[in-house]
Amino acid sequence: MRQIVLDTETTGLSADSGDRIIEIGCVELLNRKLTGNNLHHYVNPERDSHEDALKVHGISNEFLRDKPKFAAIADELIEYLRGAELIIHNAPFDIAFLNKEMERLGRPPITSVVAGVTDSLVMAKEMFPGKRNGLDALCDRLGVDNSSRTLHGALLDAELLADVYINMTRGQDALLIDSGDAPGEAGAAEVLDLRQFDLPVLQANEQEAQAHEGVLADLDKASKGRTVWRSLSGATA
């Protein structure tokens, strides 16, 4: 499965009001592994960034003057993204800007060439209800080193988000062994059959059980008492 973790920097917050993309950073994951086949462009937005946006990304208007316009990179971007699942933090924001750039060129929306879009912010809110779920907060929570992130940058943020996404979905890891690590046909992967192992069952200790109850209480509070375990316990009482 091919996934592209994508981030953009922009001149401001509203694509509909004429703000433009100034930087695109893409990181490729193949079967949940970083490939190094990344895509990165600075883009001349043909307008100045808002002062507040400059404070966020630090990319000066002068720096962008000689960079290619979006029209010049559109074909490369489309072919790079084609058929992949996009992973974006707060996806509606970036997708709105990408689709608006495509609209200016008379091209179909970017969503028409990809397999789908996953919003990692929505995932994070479901996993950590009531918590801060910005990229920095998730890096801290999941042990991803973000010490080099002093300003927002599309490629750096995409690389950090790739690590965050892999950590958030670690329970979805396929039990596969690369052909380079195990016998098998070249380029193939072998499924690991867990039935050959005697797997121990480790019971939670008292401290772990209390921590688990704390998480359940947070989820119950965030859902205003509509959690499944509350309804089931009420039905069996």
Is 57 a known active-site residue? no
Q: What is the mean pLDDT of residues 162-175?
A: 77
194 band by pLDDT with thresholds 50, 70 and 90:
low
Q: What is the mean pLDDT of residues 70-98?
A: 98
Query: pLDDT (tens digit, 9 = 90+) per residue, 120-149?
Result: 999 999 999 999 999 999 999 999 988 877
Ordered by start, the domain boundaries in the chain are 2-174, 204-236
Contact 2, 85 (CB under 8 A): yes
Report the phi/psi class of residue 184: left, alpha or beta, with left for phi > 0 and alpha for psi in -120 to 50: left
Query: pLDDT (tens digit, 9 = 90+) per residue, 14-28?
Result: 999 999 999 999 999
- CATH assignment of 2-174, given 3.30.420.10, 3.40.50.300, 3.40.50.170, 1.20.1530.20? 3.30.420.10
Judged against a pLDDT cut of 90, whether residue 49 lies above it is answered with yes
Question: pTM of the full predicted structure?
Answer: 0.71
Q: Which of 45, 51, 135 is nearest to 90 (CA)?
A: 135
Paired tokens of 1: 């499965």
Judged against a pLDDT cut of 60, whether residue 171 lies above it is answered with no
Could you report how far apart the first and last alpha carbons of the chain are, in Å? 45
Judged against a pLDDT cut of 80, whether residue 150 lies above it is answered with no
Output the CA torsion 66→102→30→127 (10° steps).
110
Paired tokens of 80: 């790079």
- Provide the residue type at 106 as one letter: G
Of the candidates 41, 50, 152, 212, the residue annotated as catalytic is: 152
